[in-house]
Amino acid sequence: EVQVVESGGGLVQPGGSLRLSCATSGFTFTTYSMTWVRQAPGKGLEWVANIKQDGSEKSYVGSVKGRFTISRDNAKNSLYLQMNSLRAEDTAVYYCASGRNLETWGQGTLVTVSS
Amino acid sequence: DVVMTQSPLSLPVTLGQPASISCRSSQSLVYSDGNTYLNWFQQRPGQSPRRLIYKVSNRDSGVPDRFSGSGSGTDFTLKISRVEAEDVGVYYCMQGTHWPGTFGQGTKVEIK
């Protein structure tokens, strides 16, 4: 059974940092690029970052470039998102999804940026 | 970024009746490999999104055959042949051809 499980969300003050994790199983992780997508409360979906299968290429949406870093550990079938200099507008549920075309999604983890 | 425009944004439907959602992109979604990376997602209330359709018209595993996708270039459609109660939710189109991937605004499907 394919499983994608995000963790690491929580309440953080503006300017703070948080590291999200995504544990996967049930599919060949090393053959998929991986993507983070977020959804602000009551809003639509926004692509955040993508990393290629071997980690050699990483891409970010403009609003997070220079603040967020996507990484992966193929030995652990895991994906990460290091988020620094967090802003109120980063408040969202963050989803991990397989592939560039988002084949399988996790349940999401909520990040709240507030003082 | 490629802008994805969905219509309608709200779609009240009668159980058993068909429904159709349109999605238009601001640029052609044909990739250099010849494929068109246009996907459709369903998000039921309180749940994560789930992919229904990939590359315009291919249903994902477990997706009922009442869902179908069509279109080409910049103009795409998701159709539900006979709406069931479990189809209530928000539907998003998304293009994966150009970086970054972009989503439509979402279409809320509800039962009349």
Q: Which residues lie closer than 8 Å to B67 by C-beta, 6 or more apart?
A: B40, B52, B53, B59, B78, B79, B80, B81
pLDDT by 10s per residue, chain A, length 115: 999 999 999 999 999 999 999 999 999 999 999 999 999 999 999 999 999 999 999 999 999 999 999 999 999 999 999 999 999 999 999 999 999 899 999 999 999 999 9
Neighboring chain B residues of A104 at a CB cutoff of 8 Å: 51
pLDDT at B73: 96
Residue in chain B lying closest to A96 (CA): B48
C-alpha dihedral, B29 to A97 to B43 to A109, nearest 10° = -140
Which residues of chain B have a CB within 8 Å of the CB of A101?
37, 39, 51, 54-55, 94, 96, 101
The tokens describing B54, both together, are 């990939």
Beta-strand pair A78-83/A18-25:
antiparallel
pLDDT of residue B98: 93
pLDDT of residue B36: 97
Which parts of chain B have pLDDT scores under 50? Answer: none
Q: Which residues of A touch B39 (CB under 8 A)?
A: 101-102
